[in-house]
Amino acid sequence: MHDLSRGRRFAVSGTVQGVGFRPFVFREAEALQLTGRVWNDGEGVTVEVFGPPERLDALERRLTEAPPPAARIERLEVTALSGLPPATFEIAPSVTGGAPRVAIGADLATCAACAAELDDPADRRFRYPFTNCTDCGPRFTIALGVPYDRPATTMAAFTMCEACSAEYHDPRDRRYHAQPNACPACGPRLALLDGRGAPLAGDPLALAGAALREGKLLAVKGLGGYHLACDATSPAAVAELRRRKRRDEKPLAVMVASLEAAAEVAVLAPAERALLGSVERPIVLCRKRPGTALVPGLAPGNPRLGLLLPYTPLHHLLLAEAGRPLVMTSGNLSEEPIAFEDGDALARLAEVADLFLVHDRPIASRCDDSVARVVAGRPLVLRRSRGWVPRPVRVRRRFARPTLGVGAQLKNACCLGRGDEATLGPHVGDLDNLETYGAFEAAISRLETFLRFRPEVIGCDLHPLYLSTRYARERAAALGARLVEVQHHHAHAASAMAEHGLDGPVLALCWDGTGLGTDGAAWGGELLRCWPERFERLATFRPLPLAGGDLAIREPWRVALAALLDAFDGDAPLDLPLFAGVPAAQVEVVRRMLAGRFNAPLAHGAGRAFDAAAALALARPVARHEGQLALALDGAADEAEPGRYPFELDGSGPVTQLDLRPLWRALVADLHNGTGAGAISTRFHAALAAGGAELVRAAAARAGDLPVILTGGCFQNAFLAERITTELSGSFKVYLHGHVPPGDGGLALGQALVADAVARGE
């Protein structure tokens, strides 16, 4: 007879609600013949368990080493428990109260068991588009509050039938407390509507599949919003989608049925296969395989293609009906937020979609698809949204007060910091119109509602014209909160510090397009020595004037002209392919603007160097979307090509400058010699990598051997990030981003960290 008087309490925090954690604990405890109970609370999950020490040890090992697939255990606290043990093990009711952690799980891709049921004619969920269990299905996008229980979700209106209820209440069933649990008898239903919103008679899936095969455009209601779908092998359908969506050249994501189907259209490394098949199911940027049936215009001029696998039963069924890869792009017009409410979708997408494939389960939170790629053999999240949100980032130093980071103007996402958790909100996009600004406000409001969160400190960008900055100022005044304006690149550095648990100081290469500096100039090619509360600017790029300001970013031939005029002392050779595509009169006007510094602000951005090099190497004077030419230049690189362009370090001023004038002269010589874009791209990337490494070494000689972080949008470029890492890894510990975007999508995390540090120091 075992002595059951000894017990332990396990307090588990992290993503442990809505992922089958309690039934997992129940089954493990039963298997080990332990007694006690487990329940959800505002902090996560608590387990009280009694039994022999060796079996308690075994349970602890199972909790830490083999939790449910979607669980993310951030902390496990173990304390001794005294008292009389109960006779059995039970799952107790959830406990509310206190300030909740973010215990709601992210939305999870359909698991293998549910996918098998979809294809089994003998199963009662055969071809049911809303099949799910505790290992998969919607979480964040249906949640209305915490704890995450069915009454606090948009499934509350669907009363479970007897069979579903039996599964839901049986702790030994994989659907135990699966909050979206449903079946054809009691759950959400699918409908196909015409462009006016009238339902069509017949099987919605069969009709939708036939329409896609005929070249029609469909609006499809997914987990976090609507997609626009069409046949990815039909040039006419893709061209029509671009015309109606007003998306000229920006890449369109493609959904394929399986990893095998993905390998038919893209060259996949093992890490890319793993990322495609992960429970997060992001869009993964993969190298195109030549000669496939896919329309070449899905990603014009880009060697990479955004691929994703189906992540809902509806996607699985729709792909099977269509029998081909499908474009699956955000349901919006260009630059608008994704539509997620039915009435809004019907109104906004009526001129885009021929048909609407809808269902009657409301979406509570808008959440677009995430985007990722593999850099240096590891996943790098470029857009952090569905699948990751609202999974928190655990920070090393606890926030002193509830802190809100509001993000930037572009690629906006907010961040709420409290305790040791920083919760990044879903991707919102560029705050350039009223609809997106409304989505920005709604994203903050919903997260604050989940967490019962009232910010006492608010961090924002220095730029006074950013709408997020205006929001922060108004909100801080209304709440009486402390406002901290954070320099853009300091925030980038702090986001990487938070992700990797670095207290500082660190050396941070912060390379992006632009961010307002403390001197009022446009920064973007910075080397900073950073602490959470402050920074020192150690180095930057030699600045270039931007003729026409932001117009130069859309017309990068202007940046290329500025670079050449600077490199050749005003006598730039313009007998180059790039300038053959620009009217001579325009070139002359811009030359005069640059000479007179008329509407030509100086910019230090590394991104502008990429613009100039890409425009010259690829003879492309215009960019249709942000980062288009830099991505094309990255894709053109021939890594087998030797050599690099020269550069100089200018230490004559208070801040060292990376001087690229020798680079531009050598690049022009290559163009005159007929050197191909692949070699030019490689030599350019190698020069920037070597230049960045030299800046770090020079700074380390003065500041000491510090950790080095690579942050900012330029480090979405795999070639650049990998080259600099290789250059530095022998002498420095180098940190790249992983699950926090290096671009502006991760900026709010850094703002929150800096704002907290500044406020606590006052």
At 1 the pLDDT is 29
Q: In whole angstroms, give the CA distance from residue 480 to residue 456.
A: 8
Q: In whole angstroms, give the CA distance from residue 70 to residue 88.
A: 27
Token pair for residue 248? 């000229």
Token pair for residue 646? 């020269």
Tens digit of pLDDT for each residue in 271-319? 999 999 999 999 999 999 998 999 998 998 788 999 999 999 999 999 9
At 627 the pLDDT is 80
Residue with more model confidence, 703 or 746: 746
Q: Which of 205, 212, 227, 369 is nearest to 284 (CA)?
A: 369
Name all contacts of 661-670 with Cβ < 8 Å and 24+ positions apart: 661/542, 661/566, 661/567, 662/567, 663/567, 663/687, 664/563, 664/564, 664/566, 664/567, 664/568, 664/612, 665/567, 665/568, 667/613, 667/616, 667/617, 668/564, 668/567, 668/568, 668/573, 668/576, 668/616
Chain Cα centroid distance, residue 211: 32
Tens digit of pLDDT for each residue in 192-240? 999 899 999 999 999 999 999 999 999 999 999 999 999 999 999 999 9
Token pair for residue 609? 């160097």
Tens digit of pLDDT for each residue in 245-254? 998 888 999 9
State the alpha helices, DSSP H only, in 32-141.
53-65, 112-118
Q: What is the DSSP string of 428-494?
A: -B---SHHHHHHHHHHHHHHHHHHT---SEEEEES-TT-HHHHHHHHHHHHHTPEEEEE-HHHHHHH
Q: In whole angstroms, give the CA distance from residue 5 to residue 258.
A: 51
Q: In whole angstroms, give the CA distance from residue 25 to residue 177.
A: 13
Task: Give Cβ neighbours of residue 233 (< 8 Å, ≥ 6 apart).
Answer: 293, 294, 295, 324, 325
- 458: β partners: 404, 483
**pLDDT-based confidence at 628, cuts 50/70/90?**
confident
Answer positive or negative: Cα dihedral of 327, 331, 335, 340. Answer: negative
At 97 the pLDDT is 57
Q: What mean pLDDT, rounded, does the chain reach?
A: 93
Cis peptide before 390 (omega within 30 of 0): yes
At 103 the pLDDT is 57
- 412: β partners: 429
Q: Which of 147, 173, 145 is nearest to 160 (CA)?
A: 173
Task: Give Cβ neighbours of residue 399 (< 8 Å, ≥ 6 apart).
Answer: 417, 418, 419, 420, 422, 752, 756
Q: Of 68-72, 196-200, 357-361, 721-725, where does mean pLDDT reach its minimum?
A: 68-72
State the alpha helices, DSSP H only, in 32-79.
53-65
Tens digit of pLDDT for each residue in 549-586? 989 999 999 999 999 999 999 888 999 999 998 999 99
Q: Are 605 and 546 in contact (CB under 8 A)?
A: no
Residue 383 has pLDDT above 70, yes or no: yes
SS3 annotation, 716-755: HCHHHHHHHHHHHCCCCCEEECCCCCCCHHHHHHHHHHHH
Residue written as token pair 């992983």? 738
At 100 the pLDDT is 53
What is the 8-class DSSP label of residue 104? B
Q: In whole angstroms, give the CA distance from residue 549 to residue 10.
A: 58
Token pair for residue 498? 């938070």
Domains in the chain with CATH codes: 7-91 (3.30.70.100), 190-359 (3.90.870.40), 381-506+743-760 (3.30.420.360), 508-736 (3.30.420.40)
At 140 the pLDDT is 93
Q: In whole angstroms, give the CA distance from residue 70 to residue 111.
A: 10
Q: Of 66-80, 493-507, 563-577, 596-610, where does mean pLDDT reach its minimum?
A: 66-80
At 15 the pLDDT is 76
State the alpha helices, DSSP H only, in 19-83.
21-31, 53-65
Secondary structure tally for the chain: helices H, strands E: 23, 29
At residue 697's C-alpha, the angle toward residues 694 and 699, to 5°, is 110
Residue with more model confidence, 625 or 482: 482
Q: Which of 426, 434, 452 is nearest to 369 (CA)?
A: 426
Q: In whole angstroms, give the CA distance from residue 482 to residue 484.
A: 7
Tens digit of pLDDT for each residue in 651-689? 998 999 999 999 999 999 999 999 999 999 999 999 999
- 383: β partners: 371
R_g over Cα of the chain:
27
At 18 the pLDDT is 65
* For residues 91-95, average pLDDT: 82
Q: At residue 81, what are phi and psi to the nearest 5 degrees? A: -130, 130
Q: In whole angstroms, give the CA distance from residue 505 to residue 531.
A: 5
Q: At residue 140, what are phi and psi to the nearest 5 degrees? A: -55, -40
Q: What is the largest CA-CA distance in the chain?
A: 96
At 642 the pLDDT is 82
**pLDDT-based confidence at 3, cuts 50/70/90?**
very low
Q: Are 327 and 265 in contact (CB under 8 A)?
A: no
Q: In whole angstroms, give the CA distance from residue 712 to residue 550.
A: 19
* For residues 594-604, average pLDDT: 91
Beta strands 35-41 and 89-91 are parallel
Residue 525 has pLDDT above 90, yes or no: yes
Q: In whole angstroms, give the CA distance from residue 353 to residue 347.
A: 11
Q: In whole angstroms, give the CA distance from residue 50 to residue 660.
A: 68
Q: In whole angstroms, give the CA distance from residue 487 to residue 473.
A: 15
* For residues 335-361, average pLDDT: 94
- 603: β partners: 522, 544
Q: In whole angstroms, give the CA distance from residue 639 to residue 647.
A: 20
Residue 509 has pLDDT above 80, yes or no: yes
Q: Are 115 and 193 in contact (CB under 8 A)?
A: no
**pLDDT-based confidence at 4, cuts 50/70/90?**
very low
Task: Give Cβ neighbours of residue 250 (< 8 Å, ≥ 6 apart).
Answer: 334, 624, 625, 628
Q: In whole angstroms, give the CA distance from residue 293 to residue 26.
A: 49
Q: At residue 480, what are phi and psi to the nearest 5 degrees? A: 70, 25
Name the percent of the chain lying above pLDDT 90: 79
**pLDDT-based confidence at 267, cuts 50/70/90?**
very high
